[in-house]
Structure 1
Amino acid sequence: MRTLILGLTATALIATAAQAATYRLGGLEVAQPWSRPAAAGVNGAGYMTVTNRGAVPDTLTAIESPAAKKVEMHRSSMSGGLMTMQQVDSVLLPPGKAITFAPAGYHVMLIGLAKAQKTGDVVPATLVFKSGARLKIEFSVGMGPAGGAAPMGAMSMDHKNH
């Protein structure tokens, strides 16, 4: 029992530390990148907050990761009581503004995961910006900063038809 409690405490501390990660490059900042647990071969999702602390706009144009066959940026929106998702080619980052990638909004799709993402894992990624900046980050695999979210496999998210 004592070993179990120590193990759970260590896991919670590691997850909290990973979720609190902030990455900076010039005026660009990425805070709390995280991803839900997901099985190998299926799609995963990544979330984060990207802030442009610089004086000029920039644009997030791509995200790369060796953890998936393909990485895309998507945006979910509610219209007429229906949730829809569409791929976006880029995300504008106005100066002094934060753009949140979260469930039911902008999100990163990790398509065709090379291996299972388990709680406590990290998923390496590189964010590519129009300015030429390339920022390496790691998505912390867990249930997110708020906790309680369902793993990708438990959600009904069809990304084949858009």
Structure 2
Amino acid sequence: MRIASSLALAAALSALAGCGPSEPASPIAIENAEVRLPAVSGRPGAGYFAITARGAKDTLTGVTAQGAERVELHESMNEGGVMRMEAIAEVPLTPGVRVAFEPGGKHLMLFGVDPALKAGGTIPLTFSFAGAQPVTVQAKLVAPGGGGHSGH
């Protein structure tokens, strides 16, 4: 009986140990991150996600990816019926306003993607900001032409 009571007490204390103050929430929320792998080895991949500043205004200044040589912020634009894409240096973030990186708009271009990366896995993306600390998320790796987002 005494052993059972001791085990119950130990279990209760162990459960309470996780009930202390939680880590402060990141001032930046990043959701639904995915990287569409290149259809042809040596070509760039594309990255999509949604980002929201939770507190103060901030600016997304860049992204790095373990498994890619470099990552650029890009934006597709329709100019007189012709779609074109260009690199952008930064993206302003207004508190509470969700900014979508999706096909046909803002997106990431991942250059020098490791050919060993396969659909169904993940890749860490680290987001850098003018004010907030970097945020790293695991982006889902998606086959070319498959999964949630399409195109770039």
Task: After TM superposition, list the pairs within 5 Å mapping 1:7-156 onto structure 2.
Answer: 26-38=26-38, 39-54=40-55, 56-142=56-142, 143-145=146-148, 149=150
CA distance in 2, matches of 1:113, 1:75: 20
C-alpha spacing 1:31/1:114, structure 2 compared with 1 (3 Å): same
Q: Alignment RMSD, CA only? A: 2.0
- AA aligned to 1:51 is T
The alpha-carbon deviation at position 69 of structure 1 amounts to 1.2
Equivalent position of 1:20 in the other structure: none
Partner of 2:61: helix, strand, or coil? strand
CA distance in 2, matches of 1:88, 1:104: 14
C-alpha spacing 1:40/1:117, structure 2 compared with 1 (3 Å): farther
Please tell me whether the aligned partners of residues 119 and 141 of structure 2 are also in contact (alpha carbons under 8 angstroms).
yes
CA distance in 2, matches of 1:25, 1:59: 18
Partner of 2:118: helix, strand, or coil? coil
The alpha-carbon deviation at position 116 of structure 1 amounts to 4.6
Equivalent position of 2:21 in the other structure: none
The alpha-carbon deviation at position 136 of structure 1 amounts to 0.6
Of 33-42 and 125-134, more deviation after overlay is shown by 33-42
* TM-score using structure 2 length: 0.74
Moved over 6 A (4+): none
CA distance in 2, matches of 1:139, 1:41: 20
* Structure 2: gaps of 5 or more residues: 1-23
Please tell me whether the aligned partners of residues 27 and 132 of structure 2 are also in contact (alpha carbons under 8 angstroms).
no
Q: Alignment identity in percent?
A: 32
Partner of 2:69: helix, strand, or coil? strand
Please tell me whether the aligned partners of residues 67 and 117 of structure 2 are also in contact (alpha carbons under 8 angstroms).
no
Which of 1 and 2 has greater Rg?
A: 2
* TM-score using structure 1 length: 0.70
Equivalent position of 1:16 in the other structure: none
Please tell me whether the aligned partners of residues 60 and 129 of structure 2 are also in contact (alpha carbons under 8 angstroms).
yes
Of 65-74 and 135-144, more deviation after overlay is shown by 135-144
- AA aligned to 1:76 is S
C-alpha spacing 1:132/1:126, structure 2 compared with 1 (3 Å): same
The alpha-carbon deviation at position 25 of structure 1 amounts to 5.1
CA distance in 1, matches of 2:116, 2:98: 30
